């Protein structure tokens, strides 16, 4: 189970992945919270883009749907799906933030099915725009609560491709950067060599905590950074965000 | 184009076995039109849209659907689509899954009369394997291999919007998503609107018109026709109903009771709004003005 401190760490660390003035394709849930936090702290001019067509979005409450009123209200522009996915395919989206039911060591994401595709144990929601973002954003950051059942050596179904294609096969298939990092409430993993490697832990969690329950031997950087805390202004902004009601917006 | 009742529009323009595009990307979801299809017991429909939410789940529960062509189906921000999940696990529903981008492109191709469009998506992962007859195309200029996304032209589209004039010029503002692409790709369009306004009002702001009269087959005035989704400038999203639907749709008997009370049990949208008044959802009570002149 993800504790309160883990939820906080996850959103605070994820926000740091957004840079000011960059374009970021945002999904619902933790990705939206992280993007909202970034805009309220170090990246006020980050351009948030939602698949519904919201461009330069600045939601005042966490949205339940990419088509919610809070995405439309306060946006710089309302285009449509073709506008925003067109920008994505053209290579003009710097960062995609994604979450999923399962992730594997190569950053492949599954949001389609638990079990076999033809005879599912649990049928999930499907790709939405996730496959497109994972394929075509310049860079992808995966946001996952530390729930070991979500971390598997091999996902049941690759909805959104990570680095399972060896070497430059990803580029040969016409795909862009892929996952650069995976963030949990306990630490940050990178994919510098195409595979998940623990690079940073967030206090009070240790390396062992960050790897707890993961079902394969996850490589660990020689020097794991230890973040003692996040900037006080960011923590305060998170506390304000966390108090907002989700919905009717 | 004829201004008519919604029940007449559905009777005249939705046939068993049709492929139906459902408009509304979270915003302006045509719940009233969808419920009328359930009431009339239309069967064997193929439903399509990119992000499918609980209206499509209700149409599945209502026994209207044999096939889906979608990019996503769930209860946004809340969880799974339970009637969909049960039908798929029982083998009573066929599913053709695309991504939201590639399905938008299918509709766009249909809209502009192109047989297919090349795309850089669906080039890796497990999704391409599960789309029957998915082809690639080699770019004649660069040699790059791309996915050839086939055009999709639905038989009929359901669209809810803010307003129209009596000629059937439909105006929508706020979130569009794939609504315009899907509607204009379709052979026929059934439009429902919050209100009919004078033609000169439409002609003072033609940039708000998303469907010109010559493409609209039937127009009905159905205030509140998008509840529990929302209409920008008119009423806000009834988020509590989406959460409630997550609970009640987990069990088939409770979902059947919901449909019996709120779909089959009402004659039309006016009667439905007697059960779910929009009183607390007034746009201005929650948002800045979104009303156009």
Which chain A residues are Cβ-neighbours of B180 within 8 angstroms? 80
Which pair of structure tokens corresponds to residue A126? 């499907």
Supply the pLDDT for residue A2.
Answer: 60
Residues A115-154 as b/e (b if ≥16 CB within 10 A, e otherwise) read eebeebeebbbbbbbbbbbbbbbbbbbbbbbbeeebbbee
Distance CA B171, CA B191 (A): 10
Q: Do A108 and B125 touch (CB under 8 A)?
A: yes
User: Which residue from B92, B93, B73, B72 is spatially nearest to B82, judged by alpha carbons?
Assistant: B73
pLDDT digits (tens, 9 = 90+) for A45-70: 999 999 999 999 999 999 999 999 99
Say whether pLDDT at A1 is over 60.
Answer: no
Q: Do A72 and B101 touch (CB under 8 A)?
A: no
Helix (H, G, I), strand (E, B) or coil at B80: strand
Indicate the residue of B100, B180, B236 with minimum beta-carbon distance to A69. B236
Residue A167 pLDDT grade (very low, low, confident, very high; cuts 50, 70, 90):
low
- A113 burial type by CB count under 10 A (0-12 exposed, 13-18 middle, 19+ buried): buried
Share of chain B above pLDDT 90, in %: 96
Interface test with B, best of A29, A59, A64, A65 (most B CBs within 10 A): A65
User: Which residue from B221, B208, B225, B216 is spatially nearest to B173, judged by alpha carbons?
Assistant: B208
Say whether pLDDT at A245 is over 90.
Answer: no
Tracing tokens 């045509």 back to the chain, one arrives at: B30
The neighbour count for residue A207, using CB atoms within 10 Å, is 17
Supply the pLDDT for residue B2.
Answer: 78
Marked catalytic residue, from A6, A17, A51, A200? A51
Closest residue, chain A, to B289 (C-alpha): A73
Alpha carbon distances (Å) from A236 to A17, A40, A41, A87, A134:
18, 10, 10, 34, 31
Supply the pLDDT for residue A248.
Answer: 60
pLDDT digits (tens, 9 = 90+) for B53-78: 999 999 999 999 999 999 999 999 89
Say whether pLDDT at A249 is over 70.
Answer: no
Supply the pLDDT for residue B164.
Answer: 98
Interface test with B, best of A26, A82, A176 (most B CBs within 10 A): A82
Which pair of structure tokens corresponds to residue B117? 């469009």
Q: Do B73 and A125 touch (CB under 8 A)?
A: yes
Q: What CATH number was assigned to the domain covering residues B2-99+153-281?
A: 3.40.1080.10
Supply the pLDDT for residue B291.
Answer: 64
Closest residue, chain A, to B88 (C-alpha): A123
pLDDT digits (tens, 9 = 90+) for A125-154: 999 999 999 999 999 999 999 999 999 999
Indicate the DSSP class of residue A109: E
Provide the residue ranges of all domains of chain B, joining segments of one domain with +: 2-99+153-281, 116-150
pLDDT digits (tens, 9 = 90+) for A99-118: 999 999 999 999 999 999 99
What is the average pLDDT across A234-242?
95
Which chain B residues are Cβ-neighbours of A126 within 8 angstroms? 70-74, 97
Active site (annotated) includes residue A51: yes
Distance CA B85, CA B169 (A): 38
What is the average pLDDT across B22-34?
98
Tracing tokens 């005879």 back to the chain, one arrives at: A119
Angle between helices B82-90 and B252-259 (to 10 degrees): 120
ipTM score:
0.97
Indicate the residue of B74, B125, B175 with minimum beta-carbon distance to A78. B175
Helix (H, G, I), strand (E, B) or coil at B183: helix
User: Which residue from B146, B142, B96 is spatially nearest to B121, judged by alpha carbons?
Assistant: B146
Give the torsion through C-alpha atoms of B164, B168, B172, B178, to 10 deg.
160
Report the Cα–Cα distance between both ends of chain A, in Å, rounded.
Answer: 28
- Between CA B127 and CA A102, with CA B135 as vertex, the angle to 5 degrees is 10
Which pair of structure tokens corresponds to residue B255? 């979902």
Q: Do A123 and B104 touch (CB under 8 A)?
A: no
Which pair of structure tokens corresponds to residue A10? 């996850």
């Amino acid at each position: 189970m993800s504790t309160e401190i883990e939820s906080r760490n996850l959103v605070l660390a994820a926000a740091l992945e957004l840079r000011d003035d960059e374009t970021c394709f945002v999904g619902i849930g933790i990705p939206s919270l992280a993007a909202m936090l970034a805009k309220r702290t170090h990246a006020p001019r980050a351009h948030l883009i939602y698949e519904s067509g919201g461009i330069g979005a600045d939601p005042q409450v966490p949205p339940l749907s990419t088509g919610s009123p809070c995405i439309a209200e306060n946006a710089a522009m309302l285009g449509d799906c073709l506008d925003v996915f067109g920008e994505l395919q053209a290579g003009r989206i710097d960062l995609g933030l994604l979450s999923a039911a399962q992730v594997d060591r190569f950053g492949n994401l599954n949001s389609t099915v638990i079990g076999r595709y033809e005879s599912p144990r649990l049928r999930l929601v499907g790709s939405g725009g996730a496959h497109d973002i994972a394929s075509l954003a310049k860079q992808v950051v995966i946001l996952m609560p530390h729930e070991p059942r979500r971390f598997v050596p091999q996902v049941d179904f690759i909805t959104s491709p990570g680095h399972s294609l060896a070497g430059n096969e990803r580029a040969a298939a016409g795909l862009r950067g892929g996952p650069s990092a995976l963030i949990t409430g306990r630490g940050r993993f990178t994919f510098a060599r195409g595979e998940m490697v623990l690079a940073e832990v967030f206090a009070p969690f240790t390396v062992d905590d960050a790897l707890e329950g993961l079902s394969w031997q996850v490589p660990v950087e020689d020097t794991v950074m230890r973040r003692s805390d996040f900037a006080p202004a960011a923590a305060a902004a998170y506390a304000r965000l966390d108090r907002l009601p989700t919905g009717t917006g | 184009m004829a201004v008519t009742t919604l029940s007449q529009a559905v009777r005249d323009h939705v046939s068993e076995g049709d492929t139906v595009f459902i408009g509304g990307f979270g915003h302006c979801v045509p719940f009233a039109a969808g419920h009328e299809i359930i009431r009339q017991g239309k069967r064997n429909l193929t439903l399509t849209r990119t992000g499918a939410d609980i209206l499509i789940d209700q149409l599945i529960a209502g026994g209207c659907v044999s096939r889906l062509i979608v990019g996503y189906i769930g209860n946004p921000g809340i969880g799974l689509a339970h009637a969909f999940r049960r039908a798929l696990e029982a083998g009573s529903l066929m599913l053709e899954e695309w991504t939201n981008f590639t399905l938008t492109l299918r509709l766009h191709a249909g809209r502009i009369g192109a047989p297919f469009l090349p795309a850089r998506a669906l080039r890796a992962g497990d999704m391409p394997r599960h789309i029957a007859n998915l082809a690639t195309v080699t770019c004649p200029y660069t040699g790059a291999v791309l996915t050839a996304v086939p055009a999709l032209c639905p038989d009929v589209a359901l669209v809810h919007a803010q307003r129209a004039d009596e000629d059937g010029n439909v105006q929508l503002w706020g979130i569009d998503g794939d609504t315009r692409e899907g509607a204009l790709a379709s052979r026929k369009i059934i439009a429902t609107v919050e209100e009919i306004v004078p033609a000169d009002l439409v002609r003072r702001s033609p940039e708000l018109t998303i469907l010109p009269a010559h493409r609209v087959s039937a127009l009905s005035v159905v205030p509140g026709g998008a509840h529990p989704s929302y209409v920008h400038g008119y009423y806000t999203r009834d988020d509590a109903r989406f959460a409630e639907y997550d609970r009640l749709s987990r069990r088939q008997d409770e979902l059947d009771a919901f449909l019996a009370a709120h779909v089959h049990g009402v004659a039309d949208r006016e009667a439905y709004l007697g059960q779910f008044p929009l009183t607390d959802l007034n746009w201005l009570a929650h948002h800045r003005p979104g009303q156009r002149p």
